[in-house]
Amino acid sequence: MVQIDSELVRLLMRVGYTAAWNGLHQEALSIFEGVGAVRSENEVPVIGASVVAMLAGHYDVAVTTLREGALTLNPDSALARAHLGVALRLRGDEDAGQTLLQEVAAQTTDPDAATMARNVAKLSPDQLKPNLSLL
């Protein structure tokens, strides 16, 4: 396998998220798939793909992607669990999503996941939904 520098992987992930948030969903998925090919043991590119699904309004796909993809690769990933909390809430499973977000916020040692979980848990369901008109 070709060795790819970690800084390049981080840059590619940023580009993927930028593409996703700017409505370039296919392009973002291609980037995340490419990163996943060189970091197949890492759940982060799978989380990126779940974000694309959320932005596209495919909440069931996001939940499945996180449960069967990211959390299968790393069952202890607080970041994947926080994203799952978001996807559940977006899907309409408010109680399950809030419970998961509160667990992540209270139990993780990952500061990024804890901050995300705390911030997202404070949002109302209407505030949580992506503003797709901006894409």
Span 60-103, pLDDT tens digits:
999 999 999 999 999 999 999 999 999 999 999 999 999 999 99
Domain ranges of the chain: 7-124
Mean pLDDT of 3-21: 92
Res 125 pLDDT > 70: yes
Res 4 pLDDT > 80: no
Span 37-71, pLDDT tens digits:
999 999 999 999 999 999 999 999 999 999 999 99
Q: pLDDT class for 129, splitting at 50, 70, 90? A: confident
pLDDT at 130: 77
Kindly report the CATH number that applies to the domain delimited by 7-124: 1.25.40.10
pLDDT at 5: 84
**Average pLDDT of the residues of the chain:** 93
pLDDT at 3: 72
Res 135 pLDDT > 70: no
CA distance 119 to 95: 16
Res 1 pLDDT > 80: no
